[in-house]
Chains A and B, each alone.
Chain A
Amino acid sequence: MTIVENLSRPVSDVEREYAAALERDAAQLRRIVDLLQRVDVDDPLLLDVAEKLDALSEHLENPIDTVTETIRNPGWRHDPVSGVENAIAPPIVLEAGPDGTVTAEVEFGLPYQGPNSFVHGGISAMVMDHVLSAATAPQAGVIFTAQLTVRYHRPLPLFVPLTIAARLREREGRKIWATGEIVVDGKVAVSAEGLFIEPRPKAAQ
Chain B
Amino acid sequence: MVTWEIPGSRKELSRYYTGAETYLTAVPGESPLDDTASQLRRIVEALSLTKPGAAHIPLTTERLRDLADELERHTEPPTDRLLGMWEGDGVVRHDPVTGPENTLAPPLVMHVAEDGWVEGEVTLGLPYQGPPAAVHGGICAALLDAALAVANHRAGNNGMTAKLEISYRRPTPLYQPITVRAKQLRHEGRKRFTVGEIVVDGEISAAAEGLFIARRS
A42 within 8 A of B: yes
- Complex CA–CA separation, A147 to B208 (angstroms): 10
Distance in Å: Cβ of A175 to nearest Cβ of chain B: 13
- Complex CA–CA separation, A61 to B125 (angstroms): 14
**Residues of A in contact with B, size category:** 35 or more
1/0 per residue, CB under 8 A from B, across A156-172: the answer is: 00110000000000000
Cβ contacts under 8 Å, B143 to chain A: 122
- Complex CA–CA separation, A37 to B51 (angstroms): 30
Distance in Å: Cβ of B52 to nearest Cβ of chain A: 5
Distance in Å: Cβ of A29 to nearest Cβ of chain B: 6
B72 within 8 A of A: yes
- Complex CA–CA separation, A123 to B99 (angstroms): 14
Of the residues A60, A144, A149, contact of B163 by C-beta under 8 Å = A149
Evaluate contact between A45 and B71: CB separation under 8 angstroms: yes
Report A149-203 residues with CB < 8 Å from chain B CB. 149-152, 155, 158-159, 199
A99 within 8 A of B: no
Taking A28-B64, A50-B36, A60-B43 as contacts, is the C-beta distance between A122 and B165 under 8 angstroms? no
Evaluate contact between B10 and A41: CB separation under 8 angstroms: yes
- Complex CA–CA separation, A72 to B168 (angstroms): 23
Report A1-39 residues with CB < 8 Å from chain B CB. 14-15, 18, 21-22, 24-26, 28-29, 31-39
- Complex CA–CA separation, A122 to B72 (angstroms): 28
Distance in Å: Cβ of B54 to nearest Cβ of chain A: 4
- Smallest Cβ-Cβ distance to B54: which chain A residue: A65
Cβ contacts under 8 Å, A65 to chain B: 50-51, 54-56
B42 within 8 A of A: yes
Subset of 14 A-B contacts with CB under 8 Å: A22-B47, A26-B47, A28-B65, A32-B103, A37-B85, A49-B70, A78-B129, A80-B138, A111-B96, A120-B146, A122-B141, A126-B136, A147-B168, A148-B164
A residues with CB within 8 A of B: 14-15, 18, 21-22, 24-26, 28-29, 31-47, 49-50, 52-54, 56-57, 59-61, 64-67, 70-74, 78-81, 85-88, 109-117, 120-123, 125-130, 133, 142-152, 155, 158-159, 199
Top 3 nearest A-B pairs by Cβ distance?
A126-B138, A122-B142, A122-B145
